[in-house]
Chains A and B, each alone.
Chain A
Amino acid sequence: MNTGPGTKDGNRQGPKFSAEATFPAGVESERMGVSMRNPALCLATLFLSSALCLTLRAQTNESTPQPANQSRSDASASQQQSPELDSAKPSDQAEGKKSLKESEDSGDKGKTHLRLGTVWLGAAYSHYHGPYYPYGPYGFYPGDWVYASLWHPIWSPYPYYPAGYFDHNDGRGEIRLTADPKMAEVYIDGAYAGTADRLKSMWLDPGAYDLTVSASDRESFHQRVYVLSGKSLKITAKLNADSSSKEKL
């Protein structure tokens, strides 16, 4: 293993060390040491960021006000003020407490949302070798817009959504669709959107839509969906066998 003379980490063994042995001779020992420690630093940073996420999340949960003592004092006060409410059965009260136990977090105060942003990984290399691209970008020619307008589902006798219509965009909400069978056809407001296997994640502008999932010999699935910006809605459409087709068999 060629680690250069005087390498500080020269006593290390194992495959990790042999990977670094491809460095050319003459590379300074300190440099080698730094490159050996970098993976550990990367891992440590990622661990630290995860720990930061968890800590912030825990703080968010703890920040919910829970005035237990205050509610107790209020309870004793209200008992004196409103004896007519004592007609409720004790068992009912106990059940009421149980059902409302996890609902303390409601209120008008703002919440803190902790979310994982974009994770950037990778490296890139680009080299363009060839003649000039002779055409302008899309939309350069007036005909592009005319052509694009014909793609809108409203203007077609068999309306459908063009490719890329459900791509992610700021101000949109997501519908995560799971359908059985996977090749079921998906319609939004009566216009064909595609097959379910290609529409696992659809991004739509805020609004109310009529979602239909249908397949041959299966009962159709209909649901009115409401899309809000930045929100994700999970829908599972399991299409049962059509009863009329069963009777035929």
Chain B
Amino acid sequence: MKWRISFAAALLLCVASLATAGPKGTVPRAGADRYTTHTIRDGVGIGIVLLSPEKARKEFVSDVNRCCVVAEIALYPAKDKPLDVSINDFVLRVRNPEASAKPASAKVVAARLQKNAASDRDITVSPTAGVGYESAGYDPVTGTRTGSGVTRSAGVMVGIGGGPKPASTDKDRAVMETELSEKALPEGMTSTPVAGYVYFPVARKKNASLQLQYTLNGNTVVLSLP
């Protein structure tokens, strides 16, 4: 009886793991030194690349530039020493003006992006042109004779607002959440290198320098981001 229960539990676990399986994060590079900013502390390699707005636009269908600064972070655990990865161990510090932010979850970022998209304004310009043929006769209003011939017309319609905004529906929010979570830095215990994106809800400013703080085994590692 016991083995049946344990078999059923194992089967359930397998099914659950298969159901939640999916791509997570990005592929880690060969080493931490392959990233723009990198360091090694207590045998743990840390590599970071701050995504430029152009790069973020290419990497994501979701318009993450509207709410966040995105960083690709890779962690290389020490040999035979698993590492507990959590995005809450990261803090982004911005200077000029002074600000700091902890990473936001994919769910929160998707909700903010949906809200931003819904507040957009749409202006649609529709030029029109037409051609017709008019037969000869008398004008019913003035009684004067009108000639036959080709008539031409042109105009422009300008529409402001109305209609659903792009990426503003609940379905879109779910898709954005899926994309952001699938590309995010995987969390949990790991003994192999992991990499992924981390979203900091900070507005980008000109002339702002950024620093990333990472708490590793109680010690703080500060990395200046170019």
Chain A positions near chain B (C-beta within 8 angstroms)? 23-24, 26-28, 31-32, 35, 38-39, 41-43, 45-46, 48-49, 52-53, 56, 66, 68, 71, 74-75, 77-78, 81-82, 85, 87-89, 92-93, 95-97, 99-123, 170-171, 205-208, 224-231, 233
Contacts and interface: CB of A to CB of B under 8 A. Distances in A.
Nearest to A233: B61
Contacts, number: 228
A119 B146 CA distance: 30
B45 to A, nearest CB: 21
Contacts of B165: 230
B175 A208 contact: yes
Contacts of A53: 125
Interface of B: 23, 50, 52-54, 61-62, 65-67, 93, 95-98, 112, 115-116, 119-132, 136, 145-159, 163-169, 171-172, 174-176, 178-179, 182, 203-211, 224-226
Contacts of A208: 175, 178-179, 182
A177 to B, nearest CB: 15
- The winner among B112, B116, B178, B204 for most chain A CB atoms within 10 A is B204
Given A23-B147, A81-B98, A45 B211 contact: no
Nearest to B122: A113
Given A229-B164, A230-B165, 20 more contacts: A42-B129, A49-B127, A71-B97, A71-B207, A74-B97, A75-B97, A78-B96, A85-B93, A96-B208, A99-B50, A102-B53, A106-B53, A106-B65, A108-B66, A113-B123, A119-B129, A207-B175, A230-B167, A231-B61, A231-B167
A226 B172 CA distance: 10
Contact of A205 (B151, B171, B226): B171
A226 B61 contact: yes
Contacts of B93: 85
A89 B225 CA distance: 11
A13 to B, nearest CB: 20
A102 B97 CA distance: 17
B123 A115 contact: yes
A118 B126 contact: yes
A55 B148 CA distance: 39
Contacts of A118: 126
Contacts of A88: 95, 209, 211, 224
A110 B116 contact: yes
A119 B127 contact: yes
A100 B152 CA distance: 51
Given A78-B96, A228-B176, A113 B171 contact: no
A226 B175 contact: yes
